[in-house]
Structures are given as structure tokens and as C-alpha cells.
Chains A and B, each alone.
Chain A
Amino acid sequence: MKAWILRSFKKGIITTRFPKGKNEVASPWSTTPVYRDGNANPYCPTGAITNKKVDANLCISCGLCYPEFEPSMDVRGSISHLSVPALKKSIRLYSIDVGSCGACNLEVMAMVSPQYDMTRLGVSFTNTPRHADALLVSGVLTPGMMDPLRRAYEAMAEPKIVFAIGACAISGSLLGKSISDALKIDVIVPGCPPDPFTIVDAIQKSRGLR
């Protein structure tokens, strides 16, 4: 026990000041690429690039547009179509994987780690959609998960928010269908997978804190 306590003191404070402060780091290619030089329409496997612009909803972070494009390093690229002030103090999340590669799941879970410490923002996970304010959906919509996704949504109380986490959930990317075939998306969190800072930023936007 003593060893654990000493270890904690030695570490000091390592939690980010984000979103009040700036994010210390970013996963470069998880941020939306921006035009740098050369061909304005290089090959993009999802057709995300048109005339020097990248559609973040389609971008799968493959980097095939390099060197014409480079990462923007902007982690605030999420879009929230609503704002729910009732959840300003506390929001409970239920994460559901409808066909992901696993990376989005782990980036959602990374928010628990001490560098992000999501509980300081009043954000926590719940093990049942019945207690959830928001559904964090990752992956392409597979036929087998269509019904569990709908049932999870129906089990939630109002107000309820649907987050599409990552390119697969938003647009279907290369591998399938978007979750918009089953539910209306309220918050778009781009990236493949999104940087944990982007997910934190999106949660804050959804409750009117950004």
C-alpha cells in the first residue's frame, strides 16, 4: 500500500487542462488532413478529397494523401447538432460497438486514463443504456447489431444523445454502412479512430460547454 501511495505522489499532477487549456498532444493522422502542396485532388480511397478540401466524415486516416496533405493537428473537429444544458454537470455514457475494429472502443476507454480523467468533467460510463444520457456508437452498422443498437436507444430516458464515434460509424468508411441507417446522429466525432481529445471535446459540445 505504501509503495502505491509513494508512486502516486512521485507522479505529481499529470491530468490535462483540456478543454480549458490546450491539448498537449494529438495523434497526427487522426486529425483531419489539410492541403500543403502539389496535386489538389490526390487519390483518396473514400473520395474524401475535393479541390484541396477533406471531408472529415469520410477520412479514414490512411495518409495516402501525403505529401500533398498533412495532419491539421486540430482536435476540435467534432460537430454537435444539439446542445443539452441539462447535462452540463453530469453526463453518463454507454458505449456500444456495432462493428468496429476495436480502435475506437479503446480511444473511448482512454478517457478514463489519468491523462484525461474524464470524471473531473462530470463524465462517467454506465453499464446499462437504461442509466445513460448518451450512446457512444462505434463501428460500421452490422446486420447482427442493428437490433441491439435500437433496443439500447429505446431503453434510454430523455434527453438522449447519439454520438457517432469515428469514420465507420459516421459514413461506413470502407467496410460497411453508417449508423445513420438505424439512428439519427446528434454528434459527429471524426477520425479513424478519433483522438481521445476529440472525443472529450465532442462531449463538451453536446452539453453546451464549448
Chain B
Amino acid sequence: MKQSGVAHIIDGNSYYTLERFTDVPVILASEGLNGFKHENFSSTDTERLSVFPYGPSSGGMVESVYFDILTQGEKIEDVRYDTDFKNRSIKISGLSMNEGLLRMERMNGVHAASYSTLFCQICEKGMNLDVPEGVELLRVAMMEAERISSHLFVASRLTGGASQNIAHMNILLLREDLLRAIASVFGHRYFFGVNRIGGIGRPVNLKEFGKKVRLISDEYVEIFNTLMDSRIFIDRLDKSAIIKGEHSSGPALRGSGINRDGRNFHRYYEGLDFKATTSEGGDALARFIVRSGEIVESVGIIERAISRIGEIKTGSQGVREVEGTISGGFMETPSGDASMLLKIRADKIESIGFRSPSILNMEAFAESIPASTFADFLFGYESLGIWISEMGDLL
């Protein structure tokens, strides 16, 4: 199903939808379910302006995506995008839950811990499985380590784009150190194969992991403070791609002063003493500040989670056959909140509804860019941490 602004499933004549930050499916009309589609500029748009095509494969971008940038000299008047070039149309329906999990991990591999946890949690809820607290806390530790890694990547893109080459290299160094630490503890740099439905797939040894991420975070704070003294860096990000209002997700939402973080509403995070980071301004700089604050906050969450994890046995719980149930959930991924609905029958996924944070953030980006200059384009886009891979169809 094509993604829209709301996760939804069509079941017979009913639309089941999931509001943001909730896990209870509701029946709703099809309002707000319009897909985001690429539209071409009309001839009246282009009468006195030029269309600059960018992509789908271009050296400056991490993933394949196409932009038409309507421009008058350096000023951007409007932008249209097409994220369908690399759409894999991943088929989940009809598969067993375990097979679905393998595909969810690979929907956005960079945020595999978050998406596999979201998927497992919804399946477990649908089957009424009791998951040990240690497994849930381990999932939190994984997701927070993933958040640090993802935010470091975004920070590296911003510093690289601003030609802050030493900071760029230092941040890449920290990210690689973190990935190596993750690999030594979890067996994989992107957490593939760790999550299983009702449990974990391999033994993990968390000894020294908290200390290692603390060292990485302390070093990052030094780099951040030095960058905040650089007018060159700040001027590049300041007032770039300003996003206001609720139609965005994650650091973009919190960077516009809205104190809303899915982790505050998620039961996995109860008792982990967590405070959402916000910033005013809504621009690329505000989002960078939010991400930097979240790196420090995530280390605290990891330390507290590890202190409460007891012994965890490896292995998954057997999948229980269910009558036919619609189960939903949300998760605050590093890019923002994602919502998912699953209809489960017997041991199979009958249908899936999904809304990724990148769907919201891409639209927010396109709306923020008019009246910007070409230089703002990169900082606006990269500061949002958009992943095209998670914007594709899940069938």
C-alpha cells in the first residue's frame, strides 16, 4: 500500500487508521489519506523561471531521489520531488511474522533496530505474548545506540556540506568507533538479526558498552561546542529551510519548538528518566542542536537501560496462531515517529499499513524551500535525516 500522512489498512469496507503517537487502531473515513505524488511544473510556473532537474542518481545524495527545482538565478521558487525511482514495493502481506521481520529490518537498514522493534512489538501485542522486561530494555539500548549513530551521520553531512572538514572527519571517526562497538556487542553494525519475535536472536555482551558510548558522546560534545563557536558553520545552517507547525516529525518537529517525542508516550521508556530535547527557530541549525542534545540524552537512556537489564536468554517465543486481529503501534525512530498497523491471521500477516517519518519530513522540506537559495537546499535536506528507502510501498 502506498504510504500517506496516516498509517492505514483497508479491511473490507472499513478504513483502520492510527493517529500519531497512539497504538489503538480506529475506524476512520479516507480523509487525509492522499499519497504524496510527484507533479510536474506547469507551463505557467516555468514561463519566466528555469527548472533545474536533480537526480535520481547524483553524486551529492546518499540515496536515489529526483528533484525538479524551479529557480530564478540563485533563488529557489519551488521544488517538486519523486521518491519512487528506488521504490522496492516490499511485500509483507501473506508472509509469516518471522519472514515479515526480515523484510522490515531491510526496509530502512540504517534504522533497522527501530523498525524491527516496532514490528516485533505489534506482532507480540497481537498475539498477547509476554516479552521479558530485559528484552524490551535491550531493544531500547539498541534503538538509542542507533539514534546516536544516525544523528552522527547527519552531523557529518552538515559539517561536510559546510566545508568544516576537520569536524567532518572527527564526527565520521566517532561514528565508525560507535559502529565497531555496536558490532562487537550485537554482532552486526546495523543490528540485523538481533530482534526476534518475543526475544533476541543471539547472545549480547553489554559489558563496557555504556562506557564506550559515553566516551563517544563526551567527545562529540567537545566538537559540538567548537562548532558552535564557528560563525562560518552557524551562518550556513541558520534560517535554512525553516519548518514550523506539526506537519513534520522527530528532530524537525522538536526543532520548531514543539515538545513532542514518541519516547515520552512509549511504555518501553517508562522509568528511564528521559527528557525530550527541543529548540526554537525551526531551521537546520535548530535541528542540528536538537540532534546534538539527543546524542547526550540517548547515552543516559542506554546507561539506565543497561543497569536494569538482567540475564537475557537467547531465542524467540513460538508464534501463536490468532483469529484475525488488527494491532497497531508507533516508535520514535531517529528521523521521527513511525506508525504501523498489522492485520494478523493465524501466523501470517494479512495486511500492513505504515507511515514513515520521512513521508512527513519530505513534504515539510518541499514546503520550506521556496524563497531559499541553492546553498540552503543541501542543509535543509540533510538536516532532516530523510531516508528514501522507508518511503516506498509496503504491500
Contact = CB atoms under 8 A, between A and B. Distances in A.
Interface of A: 3-4, 7-8, 11, 14, 25-30, 45, 60-64, 66, 71, 94, 96-107, 109-110, 112-116, 125-128, 139-140, 142, 144-145, 148-149, 152, 168, 173-176, 192-193, 195
Given A144-B87, A175-B103, A4 B57 contact: no
Interface residues of B, number: 50
A100 B62 CA distance: 11
Given A7-B170, A25-B180, A193-B109, A127 B102 contact: no
A175 B87 CA distance: 11
Interface stretch (B22-30, B181-189, B245-253, B291-299): B181-189
B63 interface: yes
Contacts of B64: 96-98, 145, 148
B165 to A, nearest CB: 9
Given A63-B193, A102-B108, A173-B106, A142 B85 contact: yes
B57 A152 contact: yes
Contacts of A144: 56, 84-87
Contacts of B215: none
Question: What are the 10 closest A-B residue pairs judged by CB atoms, nearest first?
Answer: A127-B59, A103-B109, A101-B109, A63-B193, A144-B85, A113-B172, A27-B183, A102-B110, A4-B166, A113-B176
Chain A CB within 10 Å, residue with most, of B57, B107, B389? B57
Given A63-B201, A113-B173, A114-B169, A102 B62 contact: yes
Contacts of A195: 189
Nearest to A1: B166
Contacts of A66: 193, 201-202
B318 interface: no
B192 to A, nearest CB: 5
A154 to B, nearest CB: 13
B12 interface: no
Contacts of A4: 166-167, 226
B88 interface: yes
Given A64-B193, A115-B176, A96 B57 contact: yes
A149 B56 CA distance: 10
Contacts of A8: 166
A174 B90 CA distance: 9
Contacts of A101: 106-110, 112, 389
Interface of B: 56-60, 62-64, 84-88, 90, 99, 102-103, 105-110, 112, 153, 166-167, 169-170, 172-173, 175-177, 179-180, 183-184, 187-190, 192-193, 201-202, 222, 226, 387, 389
B57 A64 contact: no
A106 B108 CA distance: 12
A71 B180 CA distance: 15
Nearest to A62: B193
B88 A140 contact: yes
A153 B324 CA distance: 48
B110 A98 contact: no
A60 B188 contact: no
Contacts of A115: 173, 176-177
A97 B63 contact: yes
A102 B387 contact: yes
Contacts of B188: 27-30, 61, 63
Given A101-B389, A114-B172, A62 B102 contact: yes
A74 B84 CA distance: 36
Contact of A61 (B60, B99, B169, B192): B192
Contacts of B102: 45, 60, 62, 174
Contacts of B99: 45
Contact of B106 (A105, A128, A175): A175
Contacts of B84: 144
Contacts of A126: 59
Given A27-B188, A62-B102, A175-B103, A100 B110 contact: no
Contacts of B389: 100-102
A99 B183 contact: no
Given A29-B192, A101-B389, A63 B187 contact: yes
A25 B202 contact: no
Given A45-B99, A61-B193, A106 B167 contact: no
A32 B187 CA distance: 13
Given A30-B189, A115-B176, 15 more contacts: A14-B173, A30-B188, A63-B193, A64-B201, A97-B64, A101-B106, A101-B107, A101-B109, A103-B189, A107-B189, A110-B176, A112-B172, A127-B59, A142-B85, A174-B106
B63 A27 contact: no
A23 B56 CA distance: 35
